[in-house]
Amino acid sequence: FTWEEIGIRNGRGQGREQWLVIDRKVYDVSKFSKTHPGGSRVIGHYAGQDATDAFVAFHNDKSMVKKYLKSLLIGELAPDQPSFETNKKKSLLEDFRELRCTIEKMGLLRPNYYFFSLIFLHLLVLEAASWLVLWYFGISLVPFLAGMVLFTTAQIQMGWFQHDLGHCSVFKKPRWNHLLQIVVINVLKGLPASWWNHLHNQHHAKPNCFRKDPDLNMHPLLFSLGKTLSVELGKQKKKFMPYNYQHKYFVLLAPLALIPFFQLSIFYFAIKRKKWLDLILIVAFNIRVCLMYVPLMGFKTFMMYYWLSRYLESTWFIWVSQMNHIPMHIDYDKNKDWVSTQLHATCNVNQSVFNDWFTGHLNFQIEHHLFPTMPRHNYWKVAPLVKSLCDKHDIEYKSKTLLTAFVDILHSLKDSGEHWLEAYLH
């Protein structure tokens, strides 16, 4: 096959065929995408494109995965076709693949079970402490606030840990990762693991690519993101919000909007896709927290305690998850190579013990996006190698202070709001 023939099989043409290329072999994933373990949409985001580096990045046990691929193989690239699409940087990808071989030999993809045991233990201690403070000291103002802070911290740290599990970076076998992820996110947090993986895998496949990265779904209903999308929205004379003020209302609105979005979407997702176990565990979580806290403070006080904690958690999550992406380039999918796709959409926050803990090591967002299955305790080891790769190929490797990263979110929103307003008025 030629790249042109593959390119038109992007899921949008006649018959909605979805072909993709891995190591010069051509696969038809049109039907398989519906049962793809990583999610139905994520594999479709590479339809009509070369998915070699994405395939390698997402799958640890490639020998097992390739067994599924055999039945999907329909041919290979014609001998006169290059191994790389013309819009992708051949030398960059060759050096990146060599880097990946190096880190595999260094053992940087192997998890440290002691590290993750401590992570799991510390979030269980936080969860228990949040209840014990109220049980022992009562519900006067100080223990109420202390319990709420502990509960919030436990929940956000569970979020970071289940994120590790969702990327299969805690255990060697995917099955064990998925089982413990269900325990952490379903049982301890009240969110469905399948829902999280469905959305988050898409984000990693095509970060900051509108209509492919679910993290951009707040555009244009609540916010106008990036210069390209904002100018487009302005020219279309569309206005759902006063975007030129979005840098002011982001602080309050974004965390508030996230709470009902999560609550509604998880039930919609679970029911629509018949994820009955997820649904049962979500209900069980809500029953559990009521049984733990209502006897201590009554139902009304517990509702205030619970939703204030969720708002604090939402605020924490929003600022950490968006500090690496909103200030970066946002556009439609341009089918860039894997390295360029990730580097143009992500930036880092400087390392410190606090930053590592506070962000769940997502301050190393660049390394995490290039190697999503790498255990987070190894990010700092690979960072100098990634930086050298970027320097060699004149790609900017951005790293900031935590405060600068937060402020840059607002600066970026202000800039894109102004781009929208200028296009809207002219």
The reported pLDDT for the residue numbered 60 is: 87
Note the pLDDT tens digit of each residue in 107-123.
Answer: 999 999 999 999 999 99
The pTM of this model reads 0.95
Note the pLDDT tens digit of each residue in 344-359.
Answer: 999 999 999 999 999 9
What is the distance between the alpha carbons of residues 39 and 22, in angstroms, rounded to a whole number? 18
**Residue 167 falls in which region: left (phi positive, over 0), alpha (psi -120 to 50) or beta:** alpha
Q: How far is CA 220 from the centre of its chain?
A: 20
In a domain? residue 205? yes
Note the pLDDT tens digit of each residue in 72-89.
Answer: 999 999 999 999 999 999
Grouping H, G, I as helix, E, B as strand and the rest as coil, residue 18 is strand
Residue 15 has pLDDT above 80, yes or no: no
In a domain? residue 136? yes
Residue 220: asked if its preceding bond is cis (omega within 30°), the reply is yes
Same domain, 70 and 136: no
Q: Which amino acid, one-letter code, is at 386?
A: V
H-helix segments, 45-89: 52-58, 62-70
Sheet holding 25-28, edge to edge: 49-50, 19-22, 25-28, 73-76
Same domain, 17 and 74: yes
Contacts of 380 (CB under 8 A, 6+ apart): 351, 364
Same domain, 165 and 302: yes
Picking from 29, 55, 86, the residue at the C-terminal end of a domain is 86
In a domain? residue 176? yes
The reported pLDDT for the residue numbered 37 is: 87
Same domain, 171 and 72: no
Q: Which of 89, 88, 92 is nearest to 335 (CA)?
A: 88
In a domain? residue 139? yes
Residue 13 has pLDDT above 80, yes or no: no
Q: What's the number of CA atoms in the CB half-sphere (13 Å) around residue 114? A: 0
Mean pLDDT score across all residues of the chain: 96
The parent domain of residue 251 ranges over 127-211+247-312
CB atoms within 10 A of CB 128: 12
Q: Which of 366, 337, 374, 340 is nearest to 102 (CA)?
A: 374
Picking from 279, 312, 345, the residue at the C-terminal end of a domain is 312
Using DSSP bridges, classify how beta strands 73-76 and 25-28 pair: parallel, antiparallel or unpaired. Answer: antiparallel
Picking from 86, 103, 135, the residue at the C-terminal end of a domain is 86
In a domain? residue 341? no
Element of type H or E holding 168: none
Same domain, 137 and 285: yes
Same domain, 158 and 291: yes
What is the distance between the alpha carbons of residues 79 and 24, in angstroms, rounded to a whole number? 10
Q: Which of 192, 167, 149, 196 is nearest to 312 (CA)?
A: 149
In a domain? residue 149? yes
The reported pLDDT for the residue numbered 99 is: 98
Same domain, 203 and 261: yes
What is the distance between the alpha carbons of residues 223 and 243, in angstroms, rounded to a whole number? 6
CB atoms within 10 A of CB 50: 24
Work out how many domains the chain is built from and give that number: 2
Same domain, 53 and 160: no
Q: What's the pLDDT band for 207 if we cut at 50, 70, 90? A: very high
Same domain, 73 and 166: no
What is the distance between the alpha carbons of residues 277 and 178, in angstroms, rounded to a whole number? 14
Same domain, 202 and 269: yes
Average pLDDT for 309-313:
98
What is the distance between the alpha carbons of residues 115 and 185, in angstroms, rounded to a whole number? 19
Domain at 28, CATH number: 3.10.120.10
Asked if residue 136 lies in contact with residue 293, where contact means CB atoms within 8 angstroms, the answer is no
**Residue 115 falls in which region: left (phi positive, over 0), alpha (psi -120 to 50) or beta:** alpha
Higher pLDDT, 295 or 13: 295
In a domain? residue 297? yes
In a domain? residue 55? yes
Same domain, 41 and 137: no
The reported pLDDT for the residue numbered 111 is: 97
Residue 302 has pLDDT above 90, yes or no: yes
What is the distance between the alpha carbons of residues 342 and 284, in angstroms, rounded to a whole number? 38
What is the distance between the alpha carbons of residues 182 and 93, in angstroms, rounded to a whole number? 35
Same domain, 199 and 308: yes
Note the pLDDT tens digit of each residue in 229-276.
Answer: 999 999 999 999 999 999 999 999 999 999 999 999 999 999 999 999
